[in-house]
Amino acid sequence: MNSTVKVDQFYDLFIKNFISVVLGLIINYINGTFVIVYFKNIVFCSDPRYILYIHLVINDMIMLSVSVGLQVATYVLRILNASVCCVVLLFLSTVTKNSPLNLACMAIERYIAICKPLHHSQICTVRRTHMLICFIWTVAAAPALSDIFIALSNRPASFFSTAVVCHMVFIYNTWQHTVKDTVVNVVYLSFVWITLIVTYFKVFSAANAASADQVSARKARNTILLHGVQLLLCMMSYITPFIGTALVNLFPQTPATILFILFLLSNVLPRLLSPLIYGLRDKQFAEHVKVYFCHKQVRRTQIIPVN
């Protein structure tokens, strides 16, 4: 009986890890294709719009890889060294907060391009875009670093040499962490939502002006709307714990399955949106992707031996 239960548990864990890893590899392959296309064409590397876009894609790839890797490690190893876990959570928290901040910056860039077209080339330079990305990482890393400092001040030094379940709940569970998380999340998400709403209506007003490029304004407006959808999915990672608790209370027989499905919906599948929003909607980028795949197919055909 015990051996049957162990086999069932092993099978369940294997299936969940297999699904996570396969989905992660597929999504990262798609995103990686867009990254290759970006770096192969100098025209994209000199456009702030595409620089911010590819930063979002690379950030999503990192987030997905770390999330899936941590999930597999948690299932397989169960526990990790607390110090190693703090470093992993620092990195994961930073890239998680990068996404909404990057979306806000992309919306502002579209607003400047449509509403301030004469000043766009002066304001949105490549150098300033790179500096902005560094600023995004700094702002996103600050709350994660504060988590570590709060833990250092509240826990004995011996704690960081012990083995623990690598999850925020088990590492950062003091009242200071709760207050900090609440304040930071409200400030971050409020800033991003206000930015998206203001830029959307500014672009909408520009679309009604006679001097505005109607087609560009409409595309920019739709893009900002899609950023809003993307932000809603980003927010899934913030509300997932509450949804998970509610669903587990309703269906106590299958807590592991519920948490796994929520993990896929909040951490894995949203990472596929970035290439779809820009890569496939943007004609110039889509054309280069087609050319890339055509050349790849031609090369494969050429190496097939002819009898």
pLDDT 10s digits, 21-57:
999 999 999 889 889 988 988 888 888 989 999 999 9
What confidence score (pLDDT) does residue 216 get? 66
Residue 81, helix vs strand vs coil: strand
306, part of any domain: no
Question: What is the full DSSP assignment across 153-192?
Answer: HHS-GGGGGSEE--SHHHHS-SHHHHHHHHHHHHHHHHHH
200: left (phi over 0), alpha (psi -120 to 50) or beta: alpha
Element (H, E) at 220: helix 214-250
138, part of any domain: yes
Range 186-200 average pLDDT:
85
The pTM of this model reads 0.84
What confidence score (pLDDT) does residue 7 get? 54
Spatial contact of 186 and 203, defined as CB atoms under 8 Å apart: no
Q: Which residues pair with 164 in a beta bridge?
A: 80
Tell me which residue has tokens 């894995």: 268
Query: What confidence tier does 192 reach under pLDDT thresholds 50, 70, 90?
Result: confident
Q: Express as a percent the part of the chain with pLDDT over 90.
A: 16
160, part of any domain: yes
Here the CATH number for the domain that contains residue 293 is 1.20.1070.10
Q: Which residues pair with 163 in a beta bridge?
A: 81
205, part of any domain: yes
Residues spanned by the domain of 168: 2-299
277, part of any domain: yes
Question: What is the full DSSP assignment across 88-111?
Answer: HHHHHHHHHHHHHHHHHHHHHHHH
Residue 16, helix vs strand vs coil: helix
> CA end-to-end span of the chain, whole Å?
58
pLDDT at 74 over 60: yes
Amino acid in position 122: Q
Cα separation, 112 vs 135, in Å, equals 19
307, part of any domain: no
Element (H, E) at 144: helix 126-154
Tell me which residue has tokens 């998680």: 96
Question: How many domains does the chain contain in total?
Answer: 1
pLDDT at 2 over 70: no
pLDDT 10s digits, 140-166:
999 999 999 998 888 888 888 888 888
208, part of any domain: yes
pLDDT 10s digits, 197-237:
888 788 777 766 655 566 666 776 777 777 677 777 777 76
How many H helices and E strands in the chain? 12, 2
Amino acid in position 241: P
Residues 6+ apart with CB under 8 A from 55: 102, 133, 136
Question: Nearest to residue 107, comparing CAs of 22, 20, 225, 284?
Answer: 225
Range 5-18 average pLDDT:
72
Question: Nearest to residue 33, comparing CAs of 57, 55, 62?
Answer: 57
45, part of any domain: yes
Burial classification of residue 61, based on how many CB atoms lie within 10 Å of its CB (0-12 exposed, 13-18 middle, 19 or more buried): buried
